[in-house]
Amino acid sequence: MKPNYIKDNPKIYLVAPSFGTTTTPYKERMEKAIKNLKKLNAEIIIGPNVFKSEYPCASTNALDRAKEIIDALKSDADIIWSVGGGEVMCEILEYISFDELKDIKPKWFIGYSDNTNLILPLATKLNLESIYGPCAPSLYINEYEVKETFEMLKGKKIFKGYKSFQLSKDDEIYPKYHLDKRNKLSAYNYNKPFEGKLLGGCLDCLVTLSGTKFDNVAEFTKNSKEKIIFFLEACEMNPMDIMRGLFQLKNTGWFNNVSGFIIGRSMFYGMEQFGMYDKDAYIESLKYLNVPMIFNCDFGHLGPTIPIRSNAYAKISIENNLLKIEYNE
């Protein structure tokens, strides 16, 4: 189910299901982001954990983080926007009854990286669309993924990649992008556009969920009338980690109804291990499927990134060496 596209004066519920925004530069960016949202006449609800850091690697304990999410999902907000990624968002799933949420009004959940832990079950357990896109502190500036996320929320259907991306990190509190690396897509077994329902996220998180009661991907893909396009990107996984992770996903039935893959950039872009790079790991693990794969796509842990609608049907193509994602509704 697709939530309604937003109009003027959206109601935005900020949540911290993983890290809170308590340290520099995230606290300053979050404060400026809230000011920017108010300038847009958005109504802001600040969840109780947004400015907390009471728990190892998270804003607060898992039960209270889960309650914040449940309250947001049951609210009348238009958008639930995560304020950060992190490490242990998976812990909240034990305190969320997805059966009790089946009748909620669909609303957009936005986040990336560790937020995969909610984006995936929202799709496979509740059949809801979400946006794999920038976390809320990024709203301190209205460029690239932030601008395009709002365009997506308002109904834009076609998104294209960028000619360059930022490889180096900027430690400024309010940095602007310095696109210092030319983007060059590469592909395997691609000769024409392919279509399907988008599903995926951060591979580090997907592997953790695979085979647990929060997984449900094999059943979801088996029952889907459309084939699946997996969008995958890794945060801290090296090529061998990726091969082991894809082995696990393969053997829990994830890839039985797939039409193709789009692969984003990891934080360890360009890492080599045993003579293999990320691309080699994906090809070696997935070539048996005989489906197209596109690499170095503009999403993941090196920006700027294209927001992606999880659980939405789309057509994928390469146009002038840029990734093109075209949604059908």
- The 10s digit of each residue's pLDDT in 101-144 is 999 999 999 999 999 999 999 999 999 999 999 999 999 999 99
pLDDT tens digits, one per residue of 274-304: 999 999 999 999 999 999 999 999 999 999 9
Over residues 140-168, the mean pLDDT reads 96
Assess if residue 80 is contained within a domain: yes
Q: pLDDT averaged over the chain?
A: 96
> Same structural domain for residues 175 and 113?
no
| Domain C-terminal end among 131, 153, 175 | 153
Q: How far apart are CA 155 and CA 208, in angstroms?
A: 33
User: How many domains is the chain built from?
Assistant: 2
179 in Cβ contact with 303 (< 8 Å): no
Distance of CA 225 to the CA centre of its chain: 23
Predicted local confidence at residue 239, as pLDDT: 97
Shared-domain flag, residues 133 and 191 = no
Q: State the distance between the two ends of the chain, measured CA to CA, in whole angstroms.
A: 11
pLDDT digits (tens, 9 = 90+) for 309-320: 999 999 999 999
* List of residues 6+ apart from 53 with CB closer than 8 A: 19, 20, 22, 23, 59
Stronger pLDDT, 329 or 296, i.e. the higher one? 296
User: Does 182 share its domain with 314?
Assistant: yes
| CA 46, 52, 54, 57 torsion-angle sign | positive
Q: What SS3 state is found at 67?
A: helix
In a domain, 17, yes or no: yes
Contact 130, 122 (CB under 8 A): yes
Asked if 131 and 162 sit in the same domain, the reply is: no
Together in a domain, 147 and 165: no
- Quote the pLDDT of residue 69: 98
> Average pLDDT in the 225-240 region?
97
Q: Is residue 3 part of a domain?
A: no
Could you say which of 153, 169, 200 is where a domain stops? 153
Q: Say which residues have a Cβ less than 8 Å from residue 205's Cβ, sequence separation at least 6.
A: 89, 90, 113, 114, 116, 117, 120
CA distance 104 to 326: 28
Whether residues 79 and 212 share a domain: the answer is no
Q: Are residues 175 and 314 in the same domain?
A: yes
pLDDT tens-digit readout, 202-232: 999 999 999 999 999 999 999 999 999 999 9
Cα distance between residue 18 and residue 36, in whole Å: 23
Q: How far apart are CA 308 and CA 130, in angstroms?
A: 8
Q: Does 262 have pLDDT greater than 90? A: yes
Residues of the domain holding 308: 158-327
- Is residue 169 pLDDT above 80, yes or no? no
Average pLDDT over residues 91-97: 98
CATH code of the domain in which 66 resides: 3.40.50.10740
Task: Provide the pLDDT for residue 168.
Answer: 81
Residues 131 and 182 in one domain: no
pLDDT in tens, 35-54: 999 999 999 999 999 999 99
Last residue of a domain, one of 98, 133, 153: 153
If asked whether residues 88 and 143 sit together in one domain, one would say yes
Helix, coil or strand: residue 285: helix
Residue 164: beta bridge partners? 182
Q: What is the domain-level CATH number for residue 178? A: 3.50.30.60
User: Quick one: pLDDT at residue 209?
Assistant: 98
